[in-house]
Amino acid sequence: MAIRLLGRNYPEELKGELAERFTKYIQKISTENPEHIPIDFRGEKRLTPEVALQEISELNIQDSEQQQLLDDLKKYLHSHFR
């Protein structure tokens, strides 16, 4: 997990064997997942902003407070990930 974090956030810091291990990890998740859907450290599909927005739109919420929270989340996802 540490190599993943370093590779994702500080790729220039990975040298030698660590860089090779990170490269192998990236190749592994790419070949195991030909649809190119990001996977998490458990090997499961990661929730992307696009999937989250789709799931939010499919919800039928009756409570106005919960609906407001979902609307705020949609605005956040649109402003930060699109």
Select the more confidently predicted residue: 70 or 24: 70
Determine the pLDDT at residue 6: 80
Residue located via tokens 């990930």:
81
pLDDT tens digits along 57-66: 999 899 999 9
pLDDT at 14 > cutoff 80: yes
Q: Which residue has the tokens 């040298």?
A: 15
pLDDT tens digits, one per residue of 47-56: 778 888 999 9
For 36, left (φ over 0), alpha (ψ -120 to 50), or beta? left
Query: Domain spans of the chain?
Result: 1-45, 49-81
